[in-house]
Amino acid sequence: MVREYKNIDAKLKESLENAFGDKVKVENPRPHRLNVTVSRDDALEVVKHLNEKHGLTYVSTITGVDAIEHYEVIYHFFLENTVINLKAIVPKEENPWVHSIYHIIPGADLYERENKDLLGIYPKGHPDPSRQTLPEDWPEGDYPLRKDWPAKERGIR
């Protein structure tokens, strides 16, 4: 017995490509997985679109990655048997930021704050982005998940 599962990958891909055209890059590496790449400025609109048109409400987590040339903020959504990995490209700048998706998906609260603490990517529009993950006495502006963070000197083995 092998159960069959509804697959809406193609429908989502088409919907996103129709709505955003060149602004999004949609890949379907394997069934039930969509990798969507957008610029930071368009990410919020994509989330809004998925929420309003397809009823997206669930975020698993948000991963922040320091990819040397830029930062990546990857939102891992789940919608009807499909995981949507929405990758927002954030340029390297003094104070990197993304639009907060808190008002659309409140469940993103802790993960946006985690990325702010550990990677220094500010969630613009978040009502209370206070520190959550790191200790109170951790110095401001010290972001351990950045690749230029001096791990060896700070005792990571």
Partner 1 sequence: MAEVKIPIGPQHPALEEPELFLLTVDGEEIVKAEMRIGYNHRGMEKSAEFRTFLQTLYLFERICGICSHSHTTCYILAVEEVAGLEIPERAKFIRTLVGELERIHSHLLWLGIAGHEIGFDTLFMYSWRDREFVLDILEEITGNRVNYGINTIGGVRRDIPEGKIDDYLKALDILEERCQYYAKLAFEEGTLAARLSGVHYLSKEKAIELCACGPMARASGVATDVRFEEPYLVYDQIPFNLVTYDSGDIFGRTVVRVLEVIESIKIARYCLQNMPPGEYRLEKVPKKIPEGEAFSRYEAPRGEDVHYVRSDGGENPYRAKVRAPTMQNLLATMESLKGSYIADAPIAIASMDPCFSCTDRIALVRDIRSGKESRIRFRDLSKYGKGGER
Cross-strand bridge partners of residue 70: 91
Q: Which secondary-structure segment (H or E) carries 38? A: strand 33-39
List the interface residues with partner 1, window 30-69 (CB under 8 A).
30, 32-33, 57-61, 63, 65-66
Residues 110 and 123: beta-carbon distance below 8 Å: no
List the interface residues with partner 1, window 72-101 (CB under 8 A).
74, 76, 78, 81, 83, 85
Residues 135 and 131: their CA atoms lie apart, in Å, by 8
For partner 1, which is the closer residue by CB, 125 or 144? 144
Residues 127 and 58: their CA atoms lie apart, in Å, by 20
Look up tokens 């990517």; give the residue.
121
For partner 1, which is the closer residue by CB, 39 or 81? 81
Residues 66 and 150: their CA atoms lie apart, in Å, by 14
46 backbone dihedrals φ, ψ, rounded to 5°: -65, -45
Should residue 133 be labelled a site residue for partner 1 when binding is judged by CB under 8 A? yes
Should residue 157 be labelled a site residue for partner 1 when binding is judged by CB under 8 A? yes
Choose the binding region for partner 1 from 14-22, 41-49, 92-100, 149-157 (rule: CB under 8 A): 149-157
For partner 1, which is the closer residue by CB, 6 or 18? 6
Should residue 2 be labelled a site residue for partner 1 when binding is judged by CB under 8 A? yes
Collapsing DSSP to helix, strand or coil, 25 comes out as: strand
Rule CB under 8 A: which residues touch partner 1? Answer: 1-3, 5, 30, 32-33, 57-61, 63, 65-66, 74, 76, 78, 81, 83, 85, 105-107, 109-111, 117-118, 131-135, 144-145, 149, 151, 156-157
